[in-house]
Structure 1
Amino acid sequence: MTKVDCSEDLSMIQSYQLALEPVQAFDSARVQFISAGRMEGWRATVSVKLPDTAAFFMRNRESLVSSEFGPDVRAQVSCFDGDLNSQGLVILGDTQSHIYVLIGALSAERSLTYFSVHVRQKRLNRVSIWQPDVKAEADVEPIIVLEGNDWRELLKAYAERTREYAKMEPLAVESASRLGYCSWYYTYQNVTESEFTESLAVLREHKEAFPVKYAQIDDGYQSHHGDWLVTNQNWPSSLEQVAGKISGTGFVPGIWAMPLLATTTSELFKEHPDWFIQDPHAEGALIIPGWSPPPEERWVCLDGSHPGAQGYLKHVFSTLYRWGYRYFKLDGLGLSYPDGRRHDPHSTGISCLRECLRIIREATADSIILSCGGPLLPCLGLAEHARISGDTGKFWKAEGVPGLAGLRAMDDWETQDPAMPSLSNALQQSLQSWWRYDRWFRADPDVVMLRDENTNLTEGEARMSGLVAMMTGVVFTSDRLDRMGQERIDLLARVSALRLHDMEPLHLEQRGPLSLFIGRQGQRKALAIFNWSSSSVTYDLANSGLFAGSVQEVLQPWGHLSDLCEIPKRDAILLVELECEPEF
């Protein structure tokens, strides 16, 4: 395995510049050549020597919300000519000779790293690297190159190298999942204090089946985005009083906020517009289109390099900590590092994001921080939990987007968009991050969707949701347990009681979504099987060669199995070996 630091050794990676000449007599008020004659940021190309038959490609996401259609692991790239994009890292390889190469960034202190794999005549032989925020004398984010015969091992090695580079201690192995409640996926932003208090009472009544530790208020309590310490008319109590109610019920108080974002209607923005990132092309703050309904749809982003903004963050989160909150869901981080004018012209979006997370980390002491929606590598070492998918939903395929009065209807093309909230999108995106589980952070796959009311999901699809949470070890729910049937409550009890470890894809050359994962439950070998198709599939245990002893299915649960098992459409099973210790 080889490490290449591009800032010092260009023997394998050659930088280049592309001259950009404006068209003569060009005249437009809407287009400006910001880097004519030079290339912004730092760019390099890598020439990769692979066999002629090499066609394996694995892309990675840093922003969580996928912009690319299709699976992230592709065993057979078939296009004649084109570019394949990835963020943070990329893997190329040959499934016949089992030769794989991983190229990835070791850090994201100032800039994210973007990769483009250039396919020419079906050959994967060149990769472009771009770090847009490496400017002037700033250091390049170091690049590491790993080679091996198993792409799964390369991902695990990369996870360890980046953790070591960030000077993080290895995460302690936890035998139990972290359990919690989040208000969002039942009432969304329409949650009221009375409804939330009622949910706490229900959770306490069902604590034997689902022993919740954290109870987290989500979006809907605040007067405006940005005014995080002030509640609206649906929350007559102060946040300090609400925290007392939560802890008085026996749970650890948690709260949602978008720490770097505010609306133009907020008191924060009205009083301190200079604390926000300024528009590079106009006077005033940079406006970001938000997802909240009017009049909260126009967002602005705090300038993390401004002393006033830094002091504001310290005040908000130290106050929430003093009031008793110990779990912080920090959302909107994917929109929290835009380009623009900052108080410190040498700062970047990523450096400011990290500085703000450091301030919040210090203000909240021993609390759990959940990084939500933001890039993963820049949050390394600054968040205990991290979301690894876009939003889930009560639909298998996207059918609507949460709005003020319910779900907004969607056009047909939108339902296929991998960025849209849906269970299938969230589950597949979560499984693609399997190599990050318990290596960088506690991976949060978003809430489990197990309820049998206020949902369009089948029982099998609910089991798939539960199985992914068992693999990550973070089991939060928004379901109203008092409105669920006993079978679904029993399913929630199984999901929260069983924790899986060291799960990784079983097949190296996978087509379509990852469907078989091998690992362990305790000291016993475990196999998780997902059926993504619209028809049943049969799995032959006797001829699989995976189990030496008797096997029990524990998710459905079917009990003891010995030969063939049929998995219904869009469903999942979990097999655990009982009589023999796993051989590793």
Structure 2
Amino acid sequence: MSPLITLQCHAEIAIANHNLLVKQRGDEVSFSYSGLSNDPISSRYTLFSLDGYIEPDALLYGDGFQMGCQTLGTLSNLRSIGNYPDNSSLLRVYSSAEPQRFYNHLLICDSLGYTLIGFTSCHRFAGFFEISKRPGGHRITAYIDGEESSPRDWSTYELESVVILKSADFNEVYQQYVEHIHRHHPPRESQSLPPPTGWSSLQSQSEGFDSELLLKNLAIQYQQHSQLDYVLIDQGYQAVLGDWCEGIQPFVEKLREIVEPIKQAGKKPALWLTPFTVAPGSALFIEHPDWLIHDEQGAPLRADKVTWAGLDGKPCYVLDMTHEEVQDHLYELIACLSQELGIELFKLDGMYWGAMKGQRRDDGITSIEAYRIGLGVINQAANGAHLLLSRAPLWPSLGLADGMRVTDDVIRDTRQFEQNALATFLRSWQNGKLWHIDPDRLVLTSLPNQGCERRFYDFHRTVLLASGGVLFSGDPLDDMTPFAVDSIKRLIIRHVDSQQSASFSSMTLQHATLELTPTNDLHCLFNYHQTARDLVLTANHPVDWYDFWTGEKLNSITTQAFEVTLESGLSARAIVTVE
């Protein structure tokens, strides 16, 4: 019979086997391996199970292994949020034939409140949960992906930690979760500082990269958008992914002619980079095939053999971060860019591939450990530069990132605006606690090949108003509409007033509130293709009510309650109180 442990919240878990040593601390259990066998630890290694009953109408939310995957819905009607589910034929983190996985944490909202089951650490193994039926109820099982590694090859027998929390309050259960995570992955100093604001060259220049156009936008940013601090040299400047590996010094000199004018204009240079991927045919690939993750036959492992081919759709290879020469190379690259060139923010893209499975030089190091080694090297070399991760494995990045993209790429499209809103709001509890969330660029000006109606731009800007976090404009500054210009100015004011995300009261994600200042409360209201409806907003005492975006006063006399109409379809309102 499996050993049983009763947690402080009265949840009773059944430990999977006698090879697991368990330490309990309140509602948290920490696992280590104590078995004598050297049998490989499987990719579905069970830690414990929890029996119970999940109501048919209970709302479930679970994260994905990587940025582009989230799951939301009832047990009988789960849907994927994001364009890149972990079990898709593209990523293949696990097979679509296997049960649905909820990585990192699982949140259940039912008639009794909220139950959160979550991994509080991710040092060596990815953790996930599965739900199965049992007579009279359901079983939630916690697993780690042991990657078929052998215990005697490990440097430690410690596994990971999990917590089970219960609360009647949506925000409280996440606050408790954050506190448990911080015991294993302390918050970074950057979380006490304002998140970055700036302008990105990506999608601001319809196709490709044009340095002259970037410098033209820089002049406008200097003159008209002084509070946008960073200029991000985004994807598109490189010939092929990994071309910076053809020689570090020539790469630095190539960028200097773009970076120096940015610094002279009083702006902070930021650079897009994919640190772990290598393009076929690049000098690094040809000269150092031993630096790459290999297949079982000893040949460099092309990514599309086991997962998504690469960011640009073309197959890539991946650096083996257990190799000391690779660590030295990566350190030199980042150190030159940060210390010699003066890059103050790195947008590190394609981070998912850094955790790709395969044969590495050190057999005892898992893909998660190898990823964290690589990210640790970048941290050491970055000289305090802000590290903004994109397309990243989430929990493997804990404690090592300043910012985290939490949505798929934004495009000027209603479906993507709605999807990114849900993705952002479901991860907004992480903002300023695990990292600054990045809801991707603010895009409010149509391009010749991409655009939508203004009311949908209004929805998009209100999403970024509610979310807070990293704020980068992705519009061409030399062709912005007055609507877009005014929106940026008001969003900057919001970021100055408060760096926090607005808080939703429930998983419906329809009404978020935020204390902007001691005398101003912000209400953000969202409609996701529902019918038009009226909502009553309340204050602690009589106040005036204003439209945040237009500045229009909406009431005639101060009142403690105010009714607002939300239009049908995809729509949003932003209301601010004034004492």
Shorter-normalised TM range = 0.7 to 0.9
Q: CA deviation at 1:38?
A: 8.1
- Supply the AA of the counterpart residue of 1:278: H
Q: In the alignment, what sits opposite 2:185?
A: 166
Equivalent in 449, 460, 467 of residue 465 of structure 1: 460
Q: In the alignment, what sits opposite 1:108?
A: 122
- Secondary structure at the aligned position of 1:550 is classed as strand
C-alpha contact (below 8 Å) 2:62/2:70 kept by paired residues:
no
Q: 2:488 & 2:540 partners in 1: Cα distance?
A: 28
Q: 2:372 & 2:389 partners in 1: Cα distance?
A: 11
Q: CA deviation at 1:255?
A: 0.5
Aligned residue runs from structure 1 range 329-408, under 5 A = 329-397=347-415
Equivalent in 137, 141, 162 of residue 127 of structure 1: 141
Q: 2:341 & 2:252 partners in 1: Cα distance?
A: 16
Structure 1 stretches of 5 or more lacking a match? 16-34, 398-421, 580-584
Q: CA deviation at 1:252?
A: 0.6
Q: In the alignment, what sits opposite 2:488?
A: 492
Q: In the alignment, what sits opposite 2:154?
A: none
C-alpha contact (below 8 Å) 1:306/1:343 kept by paired residues:
yes
Q: 2:135 & 2:223 partners in 1: Cα distance?
A: 63
Q: 1:497 & 1:64 partners in 2: Cα distance?
A: 29
Q: CA deviation at 1:91?
A: 2.0
Q: 1:229 to 1:139 in 2, by over 3 A?
A: same
Equivalent in 413, 429, 449 of residue 423 of structure 2: 429
Q: 1:359 to 1:126 in 2, by over 3 A?
A: closer
C-alpha contact (below 8 Å) 2:246/2:282 kept by paired residues:
no
Q: 1:476 & 1:375 partners in 2: Cα distance?
A: 22
Q: In the alignment, what sits opposite 2:506?
A: 508
Q: In the alignment, what sits opposite 1:538?
A: 534
Aligned residue runs from structure 1 range 442-481, under 5 A = 442-454=436-448, 455-470=450-465, 471-481=467-477
Q: CA deviation at 1:219?
A: 1.6
Normalized against structure 1, the TM-score is what? Answer: 0.80
Q: Greater shift after overlay, 359-368 or 121-130?
A: 121-130
C-alpha contact (below 8 Å) 2:279/2:317 kept by paired residues:
yes
Normalized against structure 2, the TM-score is what? Answer: 0.80
C-alpha contact (below 8 Å) 2:310/2:316 kept by paired residues:
no
Q: In the alignment, what sits opposite 2:571?
A: 571
Q: 1:487 & 1:13 partners in 2: Cα distance?
A: 52
Aligned residue runs from structure 1 range 49-198, under 5 A = 49-50=52-53, 55-66=58-69, 68=71, 72=72, 74=73, 76-78=74-76, 84-95=100-111, 97-98=112-113, 100-119=114-133, 123-133=137-147, 135-137=149-151, 138-168=157-187, 173=192, 178-187=196-205, 190-198=208-216
C-alpha contact (below 8 Å) 2:47/2:143 kept by paired residues:
yes
- Secondary structure at the aligned position of 1:141 is classed as strand
- Secondary structure at the aligned position of 1:353 is classed as helix
2:25 aligned with 1:9, yes or no?
Answer: no
Q: In the alignment, what sits opposite 1:526?
A: 522
Structure 2 stretches of 5 or more lacking a match? 1-6, 32-37, 79-97, 152-156
Q: 2:246 & 2:280 partners in 1: Cα distance?
A: 16
Q: In the alignment, what sits opposite 1:418?
A: none
Q: 1:529 to 1:489 in 2, by over 3 A?
A: same
Q: CA deviation at 1:152?
A: 3.0
Q: 2:452 & 2:297 partners in 1: Cα distance?
A: 46
Q: 1:318 & 1:39 partners in 2: Cα distance?
A: 38
- Secondary structure at the aligned position of 1:8 is classed as strand
Aligned residue runs from structure 1 range 10-49, under 5 A = 39-40=42-43, 42-49=45-52
2:315 aligned with 1:298, yes or no?
Answer: yes
Q: In the alignment, what sits opposite 1:255?
A: 271
Q: CA deviation at 1:530?
A: 1.5
Q: CA deviation at 1:370?
A: 0.4
In percent, how many aligned pairs have the same letter? 19
Q: 1:37 & 1:439 partners in 2: Cα distance?
A: 36
Q: CA deviation at 1:53?
A: 6.8
**CA displacement, residues 255-309 of structure 1 (integer Å, 9 cap, x when unaligned):** 111000011121111110110000135633333353566xx81200000001121
- Supply the AA of the counterpart residue of 1:190: G
Aligned residue runs from structure 1 range 198-217, under 5 A = 198-208=216-226, 211-217=227-233
C-alpha contact (below 8 Å) 1:171/1:439 kept by paired residues:
no
Q: 2:323 & 2:367 partners in 1: Cα distance?
A: 12
Q: CA deviation at 1:391?
A: 1.2
**CA displacement, residues 42-68 of structure 1 (integer Å, 9 cap, x when unaligned):** 223412335767733221234111265
- Supply the AA of the counterpart residue of 2:527: N
Q: 1:157 & 1:38 partners in 2: Cα distance?
A: 31
Q: 1:318 & 1:442 partners in 2: Cα distance?
A: 23
Q: 1:186 to 1:207 in 2, by over 3 A?
A: closer
Q: 1:215 to 1:170 in 2, by over 3 A?
A: closer
Q: 2:145 & 2:41 partners in 1: Cα distance?
A: 14
Q: CA deviation at 1:172?
A: 5.2
**CA displacement, residues 476-534 of structure 1 (integer Å, 9 cap, x when unaligned):** 01211221221221112112221345545544363xxx221122212233211112216
Q: 1:79 to 1:257 in 2, by over 3 A?
A: closer
Q: In the alignment, what sits opposite 2:88?
A: none
**CA displacement, residues 382-419 of structure 1 (integer Å, 9 cap, x when unaligned):** 1111111121112222xxxxxxxxxxxxxxxxxxxxxx
Q: 1:198 to 1:237 in 2, by over 3 A?
A: farther
Q: CA deviation at 1:79?
A: 6.1
**CA displacement, residues 48-105 of structure 1 (integer Å, 9 cap, x when unaligned):** 335767733221234111265xxx2x3x54469x95431101123532x33x322111
Q: CA deviation at 1:359?
A: 0.7
Q: How many residues align?
A: 516
2:549 aligned with 1:555, yes or no?
Answer: yes
Q: 2:441 & 2:542 partners in 1: Cα distance?
A: 35
Supply the RMSD in Å over aligned alpha carbons: 3.4
Q: 1:527 to 1:159 in 2, by over 3 A?
A: same
